[in-house]
Structure formats: structure tokens, C-alpha cells
Amino acid sequence: MTQARYRDLVEWPLMATALIFLAAYAWQVIGRLDGAAGLPFEIILWITWGIFALDYFANLWLAEDRRRWFVWNLHELLIVVLPFFRPLRLLRLVTLLSVLQRTVGETLRGRVATYVAGSAAMLVLIGALAVLDVEQNAPDAKILTFGDAAWWAITTITTVGYGDLYPVTPIGRIVAAALMMSGIAVLGIVTASIASWLVQRIEENAEDVAAAAETKAAAAEEPVRAELADLVAEIAALRREIAELRESAVAGRDPGTESTAS
């Protein structure tokens, strides 16, 4: 089995696994479930981690160039070897974005708009859960509820940064830095998409104007072409008459006719 075939087969199961992981993680973080209350959710998180670990080793085994694949997928290795770093495991949810990218509309603008909207919403949710997970139990924490975390994530990804809420833990600040860079990337994609759309509209308008000019020119040339055709026909008729007159004149000067007349 090739790696591409394997990815096609496991794409949707991995997406379902990522959704289960997201639901369990969100329930555990927002509900602040610890100890016995959070044990079932922790078991679910470990099971999904095991599935992701198997997926990593399967991709590594099936890769044509294993060394190259290993180097280009170091983040996958971090997710596998650091399961205790809970916010890092949220990176596994990019599976949802890859599936979204393949299932959106056919047009370029449709793909970009859908992918950007889905990416922004997913990043806000991931950032809010990650920062709430590491901040809600920290001393002097400013982000204590999911509502605060969601508001902080929105202002951070849009690079507004009101400063009313901010992380105080090192991991929380790492999450903030990643979210800010992601926000800049999303805004860059939106700007590029709008610029591409404007260029496309200008090219389409230019083509429409050129087509209209050609049509108008053809319509203006049509009477001239008709007159030219009439002139050509008249000239041809005149040539035929001149040819007939010449033939008549030649026949009138025939020697046999002149001798008979004398």
C-alpha cells in the first residue's frame, strides 16, 4: 500500500478521531474536571493519542523517503512523544483543516474563503482551549472562563490586542505567540485573496471591453464591406461589357467581311 492510498483511507477516520479528541478535551478543560470526574475524558484523550501515534508510524513506514518525511513532519513527532503537553496535542486538529481544504468549492475564491474561515474559527477555538487549560489554575491568572479565553483568542488572532486579558504562564505566552503569527498568516491570505479577485475582475472587464470593441468595429465595417462588394460586382460587370464590346469590334474588322463589302 502506498502512502497516498493510506492517507485516503484514514482521512475521514482521523477526522472523526480529532473531533472526539476536541470534544473530550473541551469538556475536560471548560468543566475543570480533575481526578475521578476527569478520568473518562483522560482515557479518551490517551486512546486518541494512541491512534495518532499509530498513524504517525504508519506514515513513516509507508513514506518513499523516510528521512525526508521525518524531517518535514517533526511537529507530528512532538505530538507523539510529548502527550503530556496538552496544548501541543491540539495541533493534531489540523487534520480537520486538511479535510476541509479537499471538500470545499471548486473555484479558487471559494476554496480560499472557506479554508480561511474554517482555519480562523479552528484557530480561535484551539487557542481559547489551550490558553484556558494552562491559565485557569495559575496564580494571578486573568483568563479564568471559556468566554474570557474566546474573547482573548479573537482579539489576539485579529492582532487587535486590547490588553484587558493576557496570559501569565510561559506556556500561555507560547500559545499567544503562535496565535498571533497564525492571525498574521490568515490576514495575509485574506489580503492576497482580495487582490487576486480584483486582478481577475480587471482582466475580465478588459476582456469584455475588447470583445465589445471588436463587435462594434465589425458592425461598423459591415456597411463598408457591402459597398465594396457592390463595387466589385459593378466592376466585374463593366469588365464583361468591355470584353463583349471588344469581341464585337474585332468581329466587325474581320477580313472576310471587308472583302465582301468591297
**Segments making up each domain of the chain, as ranges:** 1-103, 105-211, 212-249
Q: Is residue 138 a contact partner of residue 168, using CB atoms and an 8 Å limit?
A: yes
Quick: pLDDT tens for 208-221.
777 777 777 667 66
The closest alpha carbon to 167, from 193, 191, 149, belongs to 149
CATH code at 105-211: 1.10.287.70
Read off the pTM.
0.61
DSSP state of 92: G
Cell numbers for 96, please give them: 480537520
Quick: pLDDT tens for 233-252.
888 888 888 877 877 777 76
Gap between the terminal Cα atoms of the chain: 113
Q: What is the band of 115 on the pLDDT scale with cuts at 50, 70, 90?
A: low
Distances (CA, A) of 57 to 27, 43, 87, 97: 29, 21, 22, 21
Looking at residue 97, its pLDDT comes to 55
Residue 106's pLDDT is 46
pLDDT in tens, 143-183: 999 999 999 999 988 878 788 888 999 888 888 888 888 88
How high is the mean pLDDT of the chain? 77
